[in-house]
Amino acid sequence: MIAILGAGSLGRLWAASLPPGRAAFVPRPGASSDSIPYQFHPVSGEAFSVDIPQLGSDETPELLLVTTKAGDTLDALHSALPNIPANTPVVLFQNGLGSQQQVADTWPGRPILAASTTEGANRPAPDVAVHAGKGATWVGALTRTAESRLPSVVDQLSESGLTVHAETDILPRLWQKLVINAGINPFTALLDCPNGEILEAPLFRQWITPLCEEIASLMAGAGQDRIPPDELRGNIETVARSTATNTSSMRADILAGRRTEIEYINGYLVRLGDTLDIATPVNRMLTERVQLLNH
Ligand code: PAF
């Protein structure tokens, strides 16, 4: 059994893609233990119904996928892990950076892995999950004991039919995605527009170059490869164009009245800048302005 903690759009994508009977959601404390039925719309082909059971207290999963929001992850794992064997690999799917390291530092003896995915998923209604765009998923070890588990984790995830790759160093992948999220998500939330519309907006055009300069300095300071700010900007604009009609996860959070992941995206970059003594006025401005949208 593959257990999934977090029944949002990404959790539902994995649950519906794994072979029938293979996935179960981890029940939230105090929530009902009923199975979770929903309609799943694959990228191509007809929509179908799935009914995913919740993990029974006597069941021991071989793998735990954690698809909670970055800010909910530590609390969710504090509740769930006492019932999960200490040698069960845990794969973290959170956006941004910061939450993965918190988990690895809290449970250093467990096999903890991180995943970076470009699969697109959304949830237009509570009981509907949509696989909006086909991508790929890279998985790598965060703790020492996870290293030997990587090949079997990739095999188990591949049972879904989704494309999964093993990655010896997952951090550069997490950074690549962080750059895209830091350059798209806050602008879509502040401008309340789909991804493609930020490209012509004065707010984006004014701040994207200084933002990319900050990120390039932070990456170099954090020991990542130095990527020229123009290249970072090009990567951000390419993704904004290729996902032009999408509502970003941050805009969707604001529209639904949920807490955003800004603390783990631009907010993470601000904290990193404080640690490395690198000024981050643009990341700070974007973080503070998005935080105000939540009030
Ligand atoms: O967070 C998101 O919504 C996505 O990662 C991205 C790339 C911004 C596309 O919508």
| Co-location of 163 and 199 in the same domain | no
Q: Is the same domain home to 269 and 137?
A: no
Q: Are 60 and 85 in contact (CB under 8 A)?
A: yes
Q: Is there a single domain that holds both residue 228 and residue 145?
A: no
Q: Which is the closest atom of ligand 1 to the Cα of 251?
A: 3
In degrees, rounded to 5, the angle at the alpha carbon of residue 116 between the alpha carbons of residues 37 and 149 is 90
Cα of 75 to ligand 1 centre, how many Å?
24
110 and 213 both lie in a single domain? no
Are 25 and 135 in the same domain?
Answer: yes
Q: What is the DSSP-derived secondary structure letter of residue 119?
A: -
Q: Which amino acid is at 235?
A: N
Q: Which residues contact 126 (CB under 8 A, 6 or more apart)?
A: none
**pLDDT tens column, 247-256:** 999 999 999 9
Whole-number pLDDT of residue 295: 65
100-131 pLDDT, tens digit each: 999 999 999 999 999 999 998 999 999 999 99
Q: Are residues 179 and 80 in the same domain?
A: no
Q: Are residues 94 and 148 in the same domain?
A: yes
Counting the structural domains of the chain, the total is 2
Residue nearest (by alpha carbon) to ligand 1 atom 1: 249
Mean of pLDDT over the chain: 96
Check if 69 is active-site: no
Residue whose Cα lies nearest atom 6 of ligand 1: it is 248
In the structure, which protein residues have their CB atom closer than 6 angstroms to any atom of ligand 1?
A: 180-181, 184-185, 195, 239, 243, 246, 248-249
Same domain flag for 162 and 179: no
Residues 131 and 246 in one domain: no
Q: Are residues 108 and 199 in the same domain?
A: no
Q: Domain range holding 15?
A: 2-169
Q: Which of 41, 123, 177, 251 is catalytic?
A: 177
Residue that finishes a domain, picked among 148, 169, 190: 169
Last residue of a domain, one of 116, 150, 169: 169
Nearest C-alpha neighbor of 80 from the set 4, 176, 160? 4
Question: Of the residues 146, 169, 192, which one is the last residue of a structural domain?
Answer: 169
The CATH number of residue 276's host domain is 1.10.1040.10
Q: Are residues 151 and 185 in the same domain?
A: no
Q: How far apart are CA 90 and CA 152, in angstroms?
A: 12
- Interface ipTM > 0.85: yes
Question: What is the 248 CA–ligand 1 centroid distance (Å)?
Answer: 5
Same domain membership, residue 211 and residue 153:
no
